Structure 1
Amino acid sequence: MTFSLVARCPETGMFGLAISSSSPAVAARCSFARAGVGAVASQNVTDPSLGPLALDLMQNGASAAEAVAELKRIGKFIDYRQVLAVDVNGATAIHSGPNSLGIWTQAQADNVASGGNLLDNDGVPQAIVDGFLTSSGHIGDRLIAAMRAGLASGGEAGTIHSAGMKIVDQVSWPVADLRCDWTEDCPIEVIATAWDIYKPQLDAYVQRALDPREAPSYGVPGDE
């Protein structure tokens, strides 16, 4: 019921993840990222505990492949799970259990991995990877381009209703965490619109957290 990608920007070291599904609030259950460590998507009959566990393993020195291998060893009902990971070196790893739903497949390259289940066709993850690799600019722009490419290639077999995009960079919180938990319109386009609005303000929100004395104006009535 889901297609997604995890990615690293080799120029900035930012990590990002984007995901969409016919299920509600998919990003709340399936998207995990930690600055300086990596990004993980845990999907298909989701076990949300796998995301933080994989990040903990990578923070303690495991590669993406080693972290995913450990999840396969210790995870419960791992044959039902699909997990994507990218690490601090841009290495990627994927586990797709044989009990993944419907048409399921995966694709990966340096700095990007994609997977999905209940897909329209088995070419969707490769289209997502290609969409990321052939796009340019901020990692957020590339995540949106990749998800649009996946949707254009068929996306999920059903109608998608939720989506999310998470980006981490240097600080302990996500610098962008945009979600559409349910819509009858295209949730990827809802996220894209939110990103267009949020992107010019991203750095200002970080600066306000780090030192409000040096922050730009807040853009509200009465603020000077």
Structure 2
Amino acid sequence: MTFSLTARCPETGMFGMVISSSSPAVAARCVHLRAKAGAVASQNVTDPALGQIGLDLLARGLGAHEVCAALVASTPFMAYRQLALVDAFGRVASYSGSNTLGIHAVHSGEGVIAAGNLLSSDQVPAAMVRSYQDNAGKPFATRLVAALRAGLDQGGEAGPVHSAGLCVVREVSWAIVDLRVDWSDRPIAALEEVWAAYEPQVEDYVRRARNPSAAPGFGVPGDSRV
């Protein structure tokens, strides 16, 4: 019921994830990122705690394969879980339990991994990774969104999707991009629209957090700053 792509940008060190599902609010449960540490997609019959524990282990310096193995070995009900991880060096790992739903698949490349379950075809993750790679040179988050679109165009989930999300972290302690469409008949198109509106403002919001006196105005009535 989910397809996702998780990646580390080698030029900037940013981690990012895109995800979509037939379930509502998928990004609220499945997306786990921490600046300088790594990323964990925890999906299928989701246990968000796996993402939290995985990030703590990655932050301690364990590699993606070590963390994945530790989660599988120490957590009950892993037969129902699907994981995809990227560590601070861009190494990837994955796990799909024996009770992963429907057609499921994982595909990876350098610093990137896509995973899905209840898919229309096992080629969906490969199409996502291929899109991400083909868009090299474009802004990181734009590549992620393009990969999500490619997954949908390849067939996406076996049924209609209703939620989608985009999240990116870098050196600050919060996500510089955390956009969600929690329920819609066209969640990926809606996410593309939100990203198009938000992209030009990302750095402004970072500057407002770090030094509001030097940040640009909001451009709304009552704000006199240029």
Per the alignment, residue 151 of structure 1 pairs with: 152
Deviation at 1:98, TM superposition (A): 1.2
- The one-letter amino acid paired with 2:96 is S
**1:8 matches 2:8:** yes
Per the alignment, residue 69 of structure 1 pairs with: 69
Alignment of structure 1 residues 137-216 onto 2, 5 Å: 137-184=138-185, 186-216=186-216
TM-score with structure 1 setting the length: 0.98
Q: Distance in 1 between matches of 2:4 and 2:175?
A: 18
- Post-superposition CA distance 1:124-177 (Å, at most 9, x none): 111111111111311110001111111111110000000001000111110010
Per the alignment, residue 58 of structure 2 pairs with: 58
- Post-superposition CA distance 1:15-66 (Å, at most 9, x none): 1000000000000010010111111110000000000111110100101111
- The one-letter amino acid paired with 1:85 is L
Q: Distance in 1 between matches of 2:84 and 2:38?
A: 11
Q: Distance in 1 between matches of 2:91 and 2:78?
A: 22
Q: Distance in 1 between matches of 2:218 and 2:146?
A: 30
TM-score with structure 2 setting the length: 0.97
Q: Distance in 2 between matches of 1:197 and 1:81?
A: 34
Moved over 6 A (4+): none
Give unpaired runs (5+ residues) of structure 1: none
Q: Percent identity?
A: 53
Deviation at 1:110, TM superposition (A): 1.2
- Post-superposition CA distance 1:165-209 (Å, at most 9, x none): 10001111100100000012x211111110111010000101101
- The one-letter amino acid paired with 1:36 is K
Q: Distance in 2 between matches of 1:121 and 1:47?
A: 24
Deviation at 1:222, TM superposition (A): 1.8
Deviation at 1:220, TM superposition (A): 1.2
Q: Is the partner of 2:48 in helix, strand or coil?
A: coil
Q: Distance in 1 between matches of 2:104 and 2:52?
A: 23
Q: Distance in 2 between matches of 1:96 and 1:29?
A: 17
Q: Is the partner of 1:115 in helix, strand or coil?
A: strand
Q: Is the partner of 1:40 in helix, strand or coil?
A: strand
- The one-letter amino acid paired with 2:15 is F
Give unpaired runs (5+ residues) of structure 2: none
Deviation at 1:107, TM superposition (A): 0.6
Q: Distance in 1 between matches of 2:222 and 2:25?
A: 36
Per the alignment, residue 90 of structure 1 pairs with: 90
Q: Distance in 2 between matches of 1:152 and 1:75?
A: 35
Pairs aligned (count): 223
Q: Distance in 1 between matches of 2:150 and 2:92?
A: 20
- The one-letter amino acid paired with 2:35 is A
Q: Distance in 1 between matches of 2:192 and 2:141?
A: 9
Alignment of structure 1 residues 122-141 onto 2, 5 Å: 122-136=122-136, 137-141=138-142
Q: Distance in 1 between matches of 2:65 and 2:15?
A: 17
Per the alignment, residue 40 of structure 1 pairs with: 40
- The one-letter amino acid paired with 1:169 is R
Q: Distance in 1 between matches of 2:40 and 2:139?
A: 19
